[in-house]
Amino acid sequence: MKKLKNFIEKAMKNRLAKYWGDSKELKYEVHSSLSKAFKTHPRTGWVRGNIANNENLLNQINDLRIENERLRKSINEYENECCVATNELAEYNDIFKLLIRVEPEDGYEYEEELDITWDEIIGIIGPGLFTSKIDSELKSYLEETLISKTFDKNGILTISEYNYNRIKMQLIALNIIEQNGSFLKLTNKGKNFLLSNKTQKK
């Protein structure tokens, strides 16, 4: 008892103290004192377990803000460097004058300037790009499909590298096809265009 009395006197020295008579009263006094301490002297971590630490949450929000700004800057740089204004481009119903060389099986080789719309070019070249192709494969596919669909006869049709590259660049600029390394394929826009415009409807 003497030790307890000495401890109580030491603990109460120069401090306000409350007395309690039973365990229930003690629980109330402890709870009341802690609640008051939390309000008057808040400390990091003195939050409910289901509430995130404010400092940690603010750090996460700041990190997301920085990442968002970085992505916006990247998008703006890409648009400024890589994109062509669509109102400056020849589009689907515009005519492209394509110079071709034809070698029919039953005649002499000749050159011809073919008037063809970009819509027709996409309809010819697009189905071959549902699977990726390299340039040489796509050029051959275009030549073979063009002679069978346009001239409806056997033979050899040749497109110059210059005109092939003009077609490729135009379709890339229209966002119909895209190039990844050595491979070319349809973009989602290109697929949607073909499925919407080149399929049979009821």
The 3-state secondary structure of 135-170 reads: HHHHHHHHHHHHHHHHHCCCEEEEECHHHHHHHHHH
Q: Give dist(CA 196, CA 202) in Å, integer.
A: 13
* pLDDT of res. 62: 85
Q: Which fold would CATH assign to domain 118-198? A: Arc Repressor Mutant, subunit A (1.10.10)
Query: What are the residues facing 157 on neighbouring strands?
Result: 102
CA distance 88 to 170: 11
Tell me the pLDDT tens digit for each residue of 53-112.
Answer: 567 778 888 888 888 888 888 776 665 555 555 567 777 789 999 999 888 877 788 898
User: In the chain, what are the domain boundaries?
Assistant: 118-198
pLDDT value of residue 109: 87
pLDDT in tens, 10-25: 766 766 666 666 666 7
Q: What is the mean pLDDT of residues 166-175?
A: 92
Percent of the chain residues past pLDDT 70, beyond the cut:
75
Residue 190 has pLDDT above 60, yes or no: yes
Alpha helical stretches, state H, the chain: 2-12, 23-40, 54-82, 118-125, 135-146, 161-173, 188-197
Q: Quickly count: other Cβ atoms within 10 Å of residue 180's Cβ.
A: 8
- Can you give the pTM of this predicted structure? 0.56
Q: Tell me: the pLDDT tens digits for 42-56?
A: 666 555 555 555 677
- pLDDT computed for residue 70 by the predictor: 86
Q: 127: which DSSP letter?
A: G
State what percent of residues in the chain have pLDDT above 90: 33
